Amino acid sequence: MQGRCNKSVLTPAGQDSARLVGHALQGVSLNALYCSPLARAQETAEIVCSEHSQDLQPIPSDLLLEVDLPLWEELQRDEVKQRFADDYRRWKQEPQNFSMEIPTDDGGVRSHFPVLSLRDQAQHFWQSLLSQHSGQTVAVVAHNGINRCLISTALGIGAEHYQVIQQSNCNISVLRFAGGLDDIVQLESMNQVGHLGADPFPSPRPGHQGARILLVRHGETQWNRESRFQGQIDVPLNDNGRAQGRRVAEFLKSIPIGFAVTSPMLRPKETAQLILEHHPHVTLAEHEQLREISHGLWEGKLEAEIQAEYGDLLDQWKVTPEAVQMPEGENLDQVWQRAKIAWDDIVETYADRQETGIVVAHDAVNKAILCNLFGLGPEHFWNFKQGNGCVSVIDYPKGTAGHAVLQTSNVTAHLNDGVFDQTAAGAL
């Protein structure tokens, strides 16, 4: 257990991984690179800068220090589990309530809440960074725990979901800020590891006993390309969408697929069928509740046409989507409810199996599924990017008996070069 102990240094493999991060970021114009002052993060940052095309120098910040676990530092994980069994269970299952009793100089003790303290630290870092770098691109090199808190505080995810977010060594996550923390923050992608050249996705956590579900958004349609709202109009994939489907299929070809579920609509169903061409033994199941949101009278219209006829409502959709009732269509509460029904059915059916499966659906439905993992309501609709042909990975380490873990989100490396999602912005 490392925490804020500064004795831990990079292995040769860690140095190689840092070089691969630097290489992956070569084409990204950076205005600054911040890092934790701990040796392992600082060395990573220095290697990244040495591999980057710009003349960058890491800027150390104490606000990026790792989670403070003073009673556990330098102990083996198994030793912590033995000596601090109740505390370790709370750390894993109730991180928001996990505390350590720390001796003070006057002979007393103080209660230290590592995760809550780290979240405060993360918020202070964001406030400082956003005030200095509005509209700029900044890299942050830190640690597992603080990265989790940076992501969760930016998105409004509660401390109870600290363990739901995975952060692998030398992964790349992308956050886009519209302004400050009170404005829309989008997680474009999380925990990308494809640039490291090994497995396309992070490995399951040790002791994994349940299913791994690959959540896929369908390939592109011509209406996506045109920014025409499609909703529940059954638009098929266009040529690029079919090419994306084949690239997703090739990307997942080597992964043993044991089950598959799709929305019954043409665009996700065709995407799923392309994937399953490499897994002919798998039967494709359909789930009615995975259908895309109904946009009602907006369906079939270009965004400019909707702006002309429903300008105020479209403006509201872009800022407070949870308050919008689509004319003769659905609202997001309805989408949230049926997405939860669908996902709960899928989890109940498959989560206790030690196998990997695919679920192929739509932008709004996938966003609702991801938000539901963190107990987030429709007001967080814009927090999660889902590009055409993207893959997100959701693990159930304990099956139905435990919590889900979001391993990675909106992976599009199989569709485009670079670390950013370049799929069509499109409509829903």
The CATH number that applies at residue 140 is 3.40.50.1240
**pLDDT of 206 higher than 90:** no
Among residues 60, 70, 6, 8, the alpha carbon closest in space to that of 36 is found at 60
**pLDDT of 141 higher than 70:** yes
Question: Which of 326-330, 340-344, 398-402 comes out lowest in average pLDDT?
Answer: 398-402
Band (425; pLDDT cuts 50, 70, 90): confident
**pLDDT of 426 higher than 80:** no
Question: Containing domain of residue 124, as a range?
Answer: 12-189
Which residue is it, tokens 């640039």? 195
Q: Mean per-residue pLDDT for 396-424? A: 94
Asked, for residue 6, whether it belongs to a domain, the answer is no
Band (412; pLDDT cuts 50, 70, 90): very high
Q: What is the pLDDT of residue 130?
A: 97
Q: Per the confidence metrics, is the pTM higher than 0.95?
A: yes
Asked, for residue 417, whether it belongs to a domain, the answer is no
Among residues 202, 218, 205, the alpha carbon closest in space to that of 275 is found at 218
Band (1; pLDDT cuts 50, 70, 90): very high
Q: Which residues contact 198 (CB under 8 A, 6 or more apart)?
A: none
What would the pLDDT profile of 215-250 be if each residue is shown by its tens digit?
999 999 999 999 999 999 999 999 999 999 999 999
Asked, for residue 158, whether it belongs to a domain, the answer is yes
**pLDDT of 261 higher than 90:** yes
**pLDDT of 2 higher than 90:** yes
Same domain assignment for residues 179 and 215: no
Can you say whether the dihedral through the CA atoms of 76, 77, 81, 84 is positive or negative?
A: positive
Among the candidates 158, 189, 220, a domain finishes at: 189
**pLDDT of 310 higher than 90:** yes
Same domain assignment for residues 274 and 401: yes
Asked, for residue 7, whether it belongs to a domain, the answer is no
Give the C-alpha distances (Å, rounded to integers) separating 343 from 62, 202, 310, 331, 371. 40, 22, 32, 19, 12
Same domain assignment for residues 400 and 290: yes
Q: What is the pLDDT of residue 127?
A: 97
